[in-house]
């Protein structure tokens, strides 16, 4: 709303902008349906613009011709626009060690300030207010969600996220040897960290073990179990757990030891 008042009812008035005359007296010269006069009392001659757009920004002049002297009053309309993220990188999958560039572009007036944050428990916010976030030699710890925030003082910030998945080869995080008595059940466990999730294989010497003949392999996610239902003498010894994904392979040795159960003393000696 651009306000303007006249001294008496006989004044001749007009509203103008850089494009020309908008209103001359009561006559509307502008073809824009959003523009109208507001006259809440006989001496008011204000200009109202509905649904303001950035193209409406600029100088507006109220020209008043009275019997005594002409006068003009100017209003400069500044149009503010809430921040809006217009373009952001899609979720990506990269190999560890790659260089990654994330893009986040936003519109708004004043120009939005863009900040990036890695959504980890520490919530590291990156220095610099840039549309581009560059990560050189990305590590597995740098995987996860990245949040782009576009902010100006007009309205609340616009926020969007990008998920970065970092592939890396397997590393064995746990390989637990065990012991079991003959005739009992035994369990060997192997865990590996890898993205994508690793495939597991088990070997006894150079022979691959399959789930058969009392042996069962159960792999879920990053863990694999080798279960022996009924341990015999031939089951004791060295085993190898192999974890593989498309980036590499690793292995670990585990041992199944024989447990000797204590013998109870004879309650009736002799």
Per the CB < 8 A criterion, the answer to whether 25 and 15 are in contact is no
Residue-number span of the structural domain to which 147 is assigned: 82-168
Say if residue 26 is exposed, middle or buried (CB neighbours under 10 Å; 0-12, 13-18, 19+).
exposed
Taking phi first (over 0 means left), then psi (-120 to 50 degrees means alpha), and beta for anything else, what does residue 107 get? beta
Domain count, the chain: 3
Q: What value does the mean pLDDT take over residues 28-55?
A: 90
pLDDT at 120: 82
Residues 55 and 130 in one domain: no
In this predicted structure, the answer to whether residue 66 has a pLDDT above a threshold of 90 is no
Residues 143 and 199 in one domain: no
Percent of all residues in the chain with a pLDDT value above 90, rounded to a whole number? 70
Residues 93 and 68 in one domain: no
Out of 77, 108, 127, a domain closes at: 77
CATH number assigned to the domain comprising residue 157: 2.60.40.10
Q: Which of 54, 61, 246, 102 is closest to 169 using CA atoms?
A: 246
Out of 77, 97, 117, a domain closes at: 77
Q: Could you give phi then psi for residue 137, rounded to 5 degrees?
A: 60, 60
Does residue 221 form part of some domain?
A: yes
Percent of all residues in the chain with a pLDDT value above 70, rounded to a whole number? 93
What's the pLDDT tens digit per position in 183-240? Answer: 999 999 999 999 999 999 999 988 999 888 789 999 999 999 999 999 999 999 999 9
Nearest-angstrom CA–CA distance, 243 and 199: 6
Q: How confident is the model at residue 42 (pLDDT cuts 50, 70, 90)?
A: confident
| Reduced DSSP (H G I as helix, E B as strand, rest coil) percent helix, strand, coil of the chain, to 5 | 5, 55, 40
Residues 185 and 159 in one domain: no
Radius of gyration of the chain, Cα coordinates, nearest whole angstrom? 38
Per the CB < 8 A criterion, the answer to whether 42 and 11 are in contact is no
When mean pLDDT is compared across 22-26, 64-68, 247-251, the lowest value belongs to 64-68
pLDDT at 270: 52
What's the pLDDT tens digit per position in 81-139? Answer: 999 999 999 999 999 999 999 999 999 999 999 999 998 876 666 655 678 999 999 99
Q: How confident is the model at residue 47 (pLDDT cuts 50, 70, 90)?
A: very high
Does residue 16 form part of some domain?
A: yes
Does residue 66 form part of some domain?
A: yes
Q: How confident is the model at residue 267 (pLDDT cuts 50, 70, 90)?
A: low
Question: What's the pTM value of the predicted model, to 2 decimals?
Answer: 0.73
Residues 54 and 25 in one domain: yes
């Amino acid at each position: 709303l651009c306000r303007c008042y006249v001294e008496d009812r006989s004044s001749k008035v007009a509203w103008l902008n850089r494009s020309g005359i908008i209103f001359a007296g009561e006559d509307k010269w502008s073809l824009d349906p959003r523009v109208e006069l507001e006259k809440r009392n006989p001496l008011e001659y204000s200009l109202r613009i509905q649904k303001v757009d950035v193209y409406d920004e600029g100088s507006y002049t109220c020209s008043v011709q009275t019997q005594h002297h002409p006068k003009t009053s100017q209003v400069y309309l500044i149009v503010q626009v809430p921040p809006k993220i217009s373009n952001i990188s899609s979720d990506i999958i990269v190999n560890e060690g790659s260089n990654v560039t994330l893009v986040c572009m936003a519109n708004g007036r004043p120009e939005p300030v863009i900040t990036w944050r890695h959504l980890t428990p520490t919530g590291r916010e990156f220095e610099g207010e840039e549309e581009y976030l560059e990560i050189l030699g990305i590590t597995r710890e740098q995987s996860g969600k990245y949040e782009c925030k576009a902010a100006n003082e007009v309205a609340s910030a616009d926020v969007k996220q990008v998920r970065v998945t970092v592939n890396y080869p397997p590393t064995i995080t746990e390989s637990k040897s065990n012991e079991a008595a003959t005739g009992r059940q035994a369990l060997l466990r192997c865990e590996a960290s890898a993205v994508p999730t690793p495939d597991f294989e088990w070997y006894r010497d150079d022979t691959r073990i399959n789930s058969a003949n009392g042996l069962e392999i159960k792999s879920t996610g990053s863990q694999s179990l080798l279960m022996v239902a009924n341990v015999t003498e031939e089951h004791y010894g060295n085993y190898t757990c192999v974890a593989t994904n498309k980036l590499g392979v690793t292995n670990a040795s585990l041992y199944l030891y024989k447990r000797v159960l204590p013998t109870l003393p004879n309650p009736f000696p002799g």
